[in-house]
Chain A
Amino acid sequence: MVKEFGAWPETVWASGDRFGGTPVCGTDVGTTSVQAVIMSDGALVAYANLRCGYDFGEAAETALTRALKAAGLSRGDIKTCRATGFGRRRAAFADATAEEITCHGLGARYVFGPDVRTVADLGGQRTKAIRLYDWDRVRDFKISDKCAAGMGRGIERIANLLEIPISEIGERSLSAEKDPEPASTTCCNFMYPETMGLLRQGFREDEYSENDVLAAAMFTVAWRALGTIGKLSPLDIGEISLDGALGFTGGLAKNPGVTKRIERELGLSALPAKYDPRLTGAIGAALLAERDINPR
């Protein structure tokens, strides 16, 4: 299989600004990708984002090295480091770990501003919905059902099967006139044959295009995410509603095919991200690291 379609290009970035203070590092070692950010006095200095292979530790190491290089720093300049994410315990260089929910909550306030009240982390394996107070503490959270695991990976696979780059699939899915009857909203593994099956001819009257296949797949993922987000605050009677602003983080946050569909169902627009929303977890970890050296 041609693998490249499902993968986002790896990125390295540095603000280029001069910075003072004490640089700290936060890394988010996810199941699919790894981010390392360097922050100093609450400002983002540099980051690196890459896909991880079988070795979470090595991937985290590489991410850190790349971020350091971009920032023009060496290992010794980093005062402390926190790791979060699935593979956090493999990040040997980290001085401490933190769980993802807290990190995404903290990071979201940085990435989306203090108005954010709900964070939907659409990751490679899991969807997490986090409800925040108006200060930086987590109020409640929900994690997707086990039977809904792997949705982000599922989208990658669809991109690979259709040979369409992952950066384009979201927009293309939105150009479908109407979402076709969705494929299974249960499991990503049921999704591939079903969405690809839309291409089957000879029974249906309508003919479906690749965009329709994408639309069906995105709908599946969006609907599943709604199931998790909605659990945060169901009303006694009525549709799902969220109090306060919503921010999307994680890999699928960059996929408008998913996020726009969620927004449409919830009847709201998500907050714009000031930074790459995939960095949220790592930023949260770095903010915790800053607190480690500077307890409030």
Chain B
Amino acid sequence: MYTAGIDIGLENIKIVILKDASVAASLTAPSGGKERGKRAEALYDEALLRAGVSRNGIHRTLATGAGKFDADFADGNIVEEIADAAAARYFLKDASAAVDIGADQTRVVSIGADGAVTETVRNQKCMAGLGLALEYMAERLDFSIEEISLIPPERAEGVTVNDGCPVFAELDALELLNIGVPRDAVAGAVTRMTVVRLNSVLRDKDFPDRNRTVLTGGVAKNRAVTDALKALSGIDFVIPESPEYGTALGAALKAAD
């Protein structure tokens, strides 16, 4: 049986086609504003082609993410938290928490013994867009996303930026550049600030289990962030190979139910 999950985020669309609970195809592309519904549909068709299945061959398609309502072609939609939990259980059979860090949102989902969601936390407004902020800083510092992912916070060597607000952090980072701090130290400080904010979301309600927590979302690809977050929070996250597809995968899994 084929099912599909489509995650339309603020920044990127992610699509996963599942065949009997294993990934047959996965694709991603920028969301692109108003056109995101159409773009998702085109991407969906491309993914189907890759998976070698026609639309009729798909049992069910579920959309999720901030733009889930734009996916008219899907059979329905589910909230991100339920998809996150399903994905976490897929990657780790007895997962008790799912953490998803995307361009805009950070979510922490607690999962009960039966797989049901027992608690959810979304980031506060004052730390919205952490992923975007990180990306913007990378651009600013002329690092590729891959490059900045390799710069650990230790490289900051004591310099810090505001950890209360990503906008103030940017101001502080600019000031650091202004006084001649090397750009990799600035990158380290920005990574540290990201990790401090993330750690505080993790502590907002239920603290995720140290060994049974799955981390997904685009930011989970950033090694520097995940390593430092592991160290700071003490959680040994399970991070799948392509974490950005986590929520889409969860939707596809739910489509099979």
Contacts and interface: CB of A to CB of B under 8 A. Distances in A.
B10 A196 contact: yes
A5 to B, nearest CB: 10
B41 interface: no
B94 interface: no
Given A153-B170, A197-B66, A56 B178 contact: yes
Nearest to B67: A199
A164 B30 CA distance: 13
B166 interface: yes
Chain B interface main SS type: helix
Nearest to A212: B34
Interface in B132-187: 132-133, 135-136, 139-142, 165-168, 170-171, 174, 177-178, 180, 183, 186
Contact of B34 (A56, A125, A213): A213
Contacts of B177: 54-56, 87
Nearest to A29: B178
Interface string A167-204: 00000000000000000000111101100110111100
Interface stretch (A35-43, A155-163, A287-295): A155-163
B33 interface: yes
B140 A53 contact: yes
Nearest to A208: B34
Contact of A190 (B128, B136, B140, B142): B128
B171 A125 contact: yes
Interface residues of B, number: 37
A189 B139 contact: no
B11 interface: yes
Contacts of A210: 33-34
B70 interface: yes
A1 B30 contact: yes
A132 interface: no
Contacts of A149: 167-168, 170-171
Nearest to A200: B69
Interface residues of A, number: 37
B129 interface: yes
Nearest to B165: A189
A163 B177 CA distance: 29
Nearest to B171: A149
B33 A213 contact: yes
Given A53-B140, A201-B70, A189 B178 contact: no
A86 interface: yes
B34 A209 contact: yes
Q: Most B CB atoms within 10 A — which of A1, A31, A190?
A: A1
Contact of B11 (A1, A90, A188, A197): A1
A89 B36 CA distance: 44
B132 A192 contact: yes
Chain A interface main SS type: loop
Nearest to B77: A202
Interface in B112-138: 125-126, 128-129, 132-133, 135-136
Contact of B132 (A3, A53, A157, A187): A157
Contacts of A89: 178
A67 B139 CA distance: 25
Contacts of B69: 200-202
A36 B178 CA distance: 18
B104 interface: yes
Contacts of A163: 30, 32-33
Contacts of B34: 162, 199, 209-210, 213
A184 B95 CA distance: 37
Given A87-B178, A199-B67, A200-B69, A187 B129 contact: no
A257 interface: no
A150 B10 contact: no
Contacts of A161: 10-11, 31, 33
Contacts of B11: 1, 161
A1 B186 CA distance: 21
Contacts of A192: 10, 104, 128-129, 132
B59 to A, nearest CB: 24
Given A54-B140, A149-B167, A161-B11, A86 B66 contact: no
Given A54-B140, A199-B34, 9 more contacts: A53-B140, A53-B141, A56-B177, A56-B178, A90-B180, A125-B170, A149-B171, A163-B33, A196-B33
17 contacts: A1-B135, A3-B139, A31-B174, A53-B141, A54-B140, A87-B178, A89-B178, A90-B178, A146-B171, A157-B132, A161-B11, A189-B126, A196-B66, A200-B66, A200-B69, A201-B69, A202-B69
A-B interface, 6 closest residue pairs, ranked by CB to CB distance from nearest: A162-B33, A201-B69, A210-B34, A54-B183, A54-B141, A202-B69
